Amino acid sequence: MSDHITSIVIVGARGRMGKALIREVIASDHHVLLGAVDRSGGPGRGQDAGRIAGSVEVGVLVTDDLEPRRGNVVIDFSLPLATEANVRRCVAAGAPLVLGTTGLTAATRALLDEASREIAIVSDANFSVGVALLTRLAGLAARALGDTWDAELIEIHHKHKRDAPSGTALRLAKTVAKSTGRSLAEVLRTDRGDATRPREDGEIGVAAIRGGDSVGEHTLLFLADGERLELSHRAHDRAIFARGALRAARWVEAQPPGLYNMADVLGLGAL
Ligand code: NAD
């Protein structure tokens, strides 16, 4: 790894992921924290970012104003409502963006597309290396098994998570659909509460379970008569997402404008 130090600005600094990111930056020899931003009001504003993350003082205070400079990489794990304004600030400053926020609207996705003509953006619903590989394996398995095996997904997350199903589950379902020539919009089933008929051939069901402190679990099941294949990933610590985002930050600095994901960062290429 080169000696270059990547300058990081974290958005959503007081959140669960923001704090994990701050701790990982402090522990890293290859990143330095230049800014920590969270929404106005609430506890922690004006306090040292290292301290609110339960670590050592770093001399960076939490502010409510995102003002990146060229040469900074912004890492945003906050709320979908905040994303559009943050993307515009990154474009104005020419700062690359690592975006982990999930539950983005179609309008925000369109803005990301537009912004990626001017800056490099890595946007992914899951920055874990294991999940990037799981997604690749899901595509390979779906392609090999075809749509005669029933594909179903179960995801589990902590009770505070706002969006359901998770962005990761939807992407896995999309990968399975795409790999077998189906359109996810046509075959996705997220609610069987009112089902009055058996499972239809080709549908892809996603069940979201919420509770406790689960950091994130995804199991993709391929079911056939007489056998079942399961591909699972369990996150035990949200530090894995923070480490993945820091890896993406170092990678994105050197990229031309474009919209990338974790598979690009890891060099997995398109399926
Ligand atoms: P959280 O609720 O603990 O933290 C969100 C933080 O964003 C809070 O501190 C909140 O005050 C702050 N915030 C709200 N509005 C803001 C604004 N306008 N400007 C700046 N900050 C603002 O949530 P979390 O568990 O840390 O998750 C944050 C996001 O990251 C969610 O969308 C979650 O789904 C996503 N996430 C993604 C990954 C991944 O790998 N991509 C992993 C975990 C979580």
- Separation CA 197–CA 260 (nearest Å): 40
| 107 shares a domain with 14 | yes
Ligand 1 midpoint to CA 150 (Å): 34
State whether residue 102 is helix, strand or coil. Answer: coil
> Residue 147: what residue type?
D
Q: What is the CATH number of the domain that holds 218?
A: 3.30.360.10
Domain contains 270 = no
State how far the alpha carbon of 98 is from the alpha carbons of 2, 46, 197, 254, in Å. 20, 24, 43, 13
Could you report the per-residue pLDDT of 50-82, keeping only the tens digit for each? 999 999 999 999 999 999 999 999 999 999 999
pLDDT in tens, 83-93: 999 999 999 99
Same domain, residue pair 161 and 254 = no
> Are 130 and 233 within 8 A, CB to CB?
yes
The number of the ligand 1 atom at minimal distance from the alpha carbon of 161 is 34
Catalytic residue among 157, 174, 218, 233: 157
Whether 45 lines ligand 1, by a CB cut-off of 6 Å, is no
Indicate if 161 belongs to the active site: yes
Q: What is the pLDDT of residue 1?
A: 65
Could you give the CA distance from residue 170 to residue 188 in angstroms, rounded to a whole number?
Answer: 9
Residue range 151-207, pLDDT digits in tens? 999 999 999 999 999 999 999 999 999 999 999 999 999 988 877 889 999 999 999
The tens digit of pLDDT for each residue in 26-43 reads 999 999 999 999 998 877
Q: What CATH number has the domain bearing residue 113?
A: 3.40.50.720
How are beta strands 188-189 and 62-63 bridged, if at all? unpaired
Mark whether 218 is an active-site residue. no
38 with 100, same domain?
A: yes
Residues 97 and 171: their CA atoms lie apart, in Å, by 20
Ligand 1 probe mutation, 78, 98, 236, most atoms within 8 A of CB: 78
CB 213, CB 157: distance < 8 Å:
no
Q: Whose C-alpha lies nearest to ligand 1, atom 25?
A: 16
Q: Does the Cβ of 12 fall within 6 Å of ligand 1?
A: yes
203: how many CB neighbours lie within 10 A of its CB? 16
Residue 44 has pLDDT above 80, yes or no: no
29 lies in the same domain as 78: yes
**Side chain identity, residue 115:** A
Domain with 41, as residue range(s), is 6-123+238-265
Q: Whose CA is nearest to atom 37 of ligand 1?
A: 100
Domain count, the chain: 2
Are 84 and 106 in contact by the 8 Å Cβ rule? The answer is: no
Rg value, the chain, Cα: 19
In a domain, 228, yes or no: yes
Residues 56 and 140 in one domain: no
Ligand 1 site, residue 251, Cβ cutoff 6 A: no
Cis peptide before 165, with omega less than 30 degrees from 0? yes
CA atoms of 219 and 206, how far apart (whole Å): 10
Q: Is the overall model pTM greater than 0.85, yes or no?
A: yes
Instruction: Give the list of residues 6+ apart from residue 179 with CB closer than 8 angstroms, or none.
Output: 138, 139, 140, 142, 143, 271
Looking at the structure, tell me whether residues 172 and 185 fall in a common domain: yes
Q: What band does 224 get if pLDDT is binned at 50, 70 and 90? A: very high
CA distance 87 to 97: 8
Interstrand relation of 227-235 and 216-224 (parallel, antiparallel or unpaired): antiparallel
Calculate the dihedral angle through the C-alpha atoms of 193, 195, 199, 203, rounding to the nearest 10 degrees.
Answer: -70
